[in-house]
Chains A and B, each alone.
Chain A
Amino acid sequence: MTAASDVARVVDEPSNLTRAWRRFLRNPAAVIGALIVISVVAAAVLAPSLASYPAHAGSFVDFRSRHLAPSLVHFMGTDNVGRDIFSRVLFGYRISLLLVVGVLGVAVPLGVLFGLLAGYFAGAVETAVMGFTNVMLAMPPLVMALAITAVLSPDLINSMIAITCLWWTWHCRLVYRVAKSVAAEDFVEAARLAGASHMHVLFRELLPNCTAAISVKTTLDAGFVILFGASLSFLGLGVQPPTPDLGTMVATGAQFLPEMWWEAVMPGLAILYAILGFNLLGDGLRDMMDVEI
């Protein structure tokens, strides 16, 4: 290729990143997903200033205004002790996102590390890691999380621990699959022959080939971690009152169905909204990066 045509190519064809970005913008579902995720994160971060009644996030009680239907004063109504549900939902997103960051912040690096090791080193390492992973994956995840939360005591940190214990195995299996197929490629062999260390091959040759799959899975997972945490606290095994947790709010509100429907339905829809956002965004990223999960 001559220098002139090289320049022409650079000028005419947009970079991979730009092309991917355009493909992302052409996908309305992905853009909606991104907007939802941004709004959820903003709601969580700005909760103290966005909430109409920030004090209601705690153990506030106002029996005169309990069980009020949604109105302009209380967008989502009030709960059984007179707290503004909208304000509590905003603060609830903080707990949900804290859970997501806590779980994925530990589970993803852990799963990626073990997945890389198992995919690269065949033999005993592969058998041990994947054997253990398959045992973990053979369990109904919610039952497993319940059992772990049970032997610990129910609170936010222990929910994080329980969900993390399960979650890393999914990433481990995904990265294992990608790393194993990449490890068989010639360029890995070439790197080894050129004298590259195992560390170099693992983190400089294999890992970059896994990042697309990891980031898509992590985005999708954020939604499912929220779902999981909400399910645990719905069963009374998660965050304890008066902390405004969405799952706990649904469980409490469910006692007042069907008359005071908003008390369970509003926090329920708030959970759905957040999960929907991460799911749409994750699917959009998957199409954009063209990876299989």
Chain B
Amino acid sequence: MIASYLVRRAIGFVFVLFGLSVVIFVVARVVPGDPARIALGPLATNEQVAQLHREMGFDKPAALQYFDYLGGVLHGDFGRSLLTNRPVAADIAEALPATLELVLFTLLLIMLVAVPAGVLAARWHNTWIDNASRLVSLLGVVTPGFVVALLLQLFASLFNFFPLTGRLSPDLGFVPDITRLALVDALLKGRLDVFTDALSHIFLPALALSAAGIGQVMRITRSSMLDVAKRDHVETLRSFGVPGWVITLEYMLRLACIAPLTILGLEFASLMGNAFIVELVFAWPGFASYGVRAILSKDFNAVMAVVLMSGLFFVVANLLIDLLIGLIDPRLRVRRT
């Protein structure tokens, strides 16, 4: 049941990604600005520009160019970057793990902070705990990512506790080459010193990135906990004398988790976007700096790849969350199919 539902969603998402690639392709090709001219610089002759045009296939009709491109993408070939003069796929493969690590760690942080905080705010709703959580979530939602990042950096520089930039201290000489995620690889290789170093590097960027998400997930958890508390089965459990914390953790939280999980899937999109800004502030070696440089130099293949990969992430994250929700709430498996 759930498998066929997921397959159908996956097919829908393939169409979304396909449509997306068409949209970007059209936007990038229709607007003025010659990428070959920019790559070669103002001193290049017209012959050289025409030569590069032929090499990049810019002289063919747009539709044909698109299908050439799509064929390449399906084989993992995103073309050559005009900026680094390397295959875009290689550039992305190098930058992606760092971004992925940051975003995944941020999601973890959001869940670990926001869900318990939301449960507390619901348990003591309309007290000072609830009001404090309301204020924190409001500030998290309205503060721009780069302001949070800079403020965190400012405070960290006062206390000199966390490193302000980078992903790993270079003097450790550690190369994350198993999963490419520094935190995981450090544990796999049993290097606790590397793990704490990586943790201290990732903490501030992840905190900056999580600000908006923590606020939203906290409020959603609170309101769905309050909602679940009114249900009949919770009343019944209470009248049977089941201890309050057992009801909260065993029976209510399971139901109340669904709304925050759904939000988290959507949150993923804004995390990917905000990662661009946070990575830039903390000099995190992910694909943000690559993306921004590609954008500024009109490196079409690189821009396209960055956007498509962000879209792919979003799609995969949402499928995983659907799967997770299906596991938590058996009723949905039946209802949705």
A residues lining the B interface (CB < 8 Å): 131-132, 134-136, 138-144, 146-153, 223, 227, 230-231, 234-237, 247, 250-251, 254, 257-258, 261, 264-265, 268-269, 271-272, 275-276, 279-280
Contacts and interface: CB of A to CB of B under 8 A. Distances in A.
19 contacts: A135-B15, A138-B16, A138-B20, A138-B315, A139-B311, A140-B270, A140-B271, A140-B311, A140-B314, A142-B274, A147-B24, A147-B28, A150-B295, A151-B27, A223-B142, A231-B144, A257-B150, A261-B154, A275-B143
Which of B33, B295, B296, B315: most chain A CB closer than 10 A?
B295
Contacts of A223: 142
B33 A153 contact: yes
B89 to A, nearest CB: 18
A278 to B, nearest CB: 9
B34 to A, nearest CB: 12
Nearest to B294: A150
Contacts of B24: 147
Interface of B is mostly: helix
A279 B141 CA distance: 9
Interface string B10-39: 000101110110011001100101000000
A50 B274 CA distance: 34
A250 B146 contact: yes
Interface string B155-180: 00110000000000000000000000
B131 to A, nearest CB: 11
Given A146-B276, A265-B154, A272-B142, A135 B16 contact: yes
B149 to A, nearest CB: 9
Interface residues of B, number: 50
Contacts of B153: 257-258
Contact of A138 (B138, B145, B157, B311): B311
A147 B23 CA distance: 11
A150 B141 contact: no
Contacts of B16: 134-135, 138
A135 B19 contact: yes
A280 B270 CA distance: 21
A140 B269 contact: yes
Which of B150, B276, B291, B296: most chain A CB closer than 10 A?
B150
A154 B292 CA distance: 12
Nearest to B144: A227
B307 interface: yes
Contacts of B307: 139, 143-144, 147
B151 interface: yes
Given A147-B24, A265-B151, A231 B145 contact: yes
Given A135-B20, A140-B273, A237-B295, A152 B157 contact: no
B142 A143 contact: no
B306 interface: yes
Contacts of A132: 19
B122 interface: no
B31 A151 contact: yes
Interface string B304-337: 0011001100110000000000000000000000
Nearest to B23: A135
Given A138-B311, A140-B273, A143-B291, 13 more contacts: A131-B15, A131-B19, A135-B19, A139-B20, A140-B314, A143-B273, A147-B28, A151-B298, A237-B296, A268-B150, A272-B147, A279-B141, A279-B142
Contacts of A141: 269-270, 273
Contacts of A149: 295
Nearest to A137: B269
Interface in B264-307: 269-274, 276-277, 280-281, 291-292, 294-296, 298, 300, 303, 306-307
Contacts of A146: 276, 291-292, 295
A175 B31 CA distance: 30
A272 B143 contact: yes
Contacts of A254: 150, 281
A235 B291 CA distance: 11
Which of A143, A235, A268: most chain B CB closer than 10 A?
A143
B291 A276 contact: no
Contacts of A251: 146
Contact of B27 (A134, A148, A236): A148
Contacts of B147: 250, 268-269, 271-272
A148 B141 CA distance: 25
Given A134-B16, A139-B314, A250-B147, A258 B158 contact: yes
Contact of A236 (B142, B158, B296): B296
A171 to B, nearest CB: 17
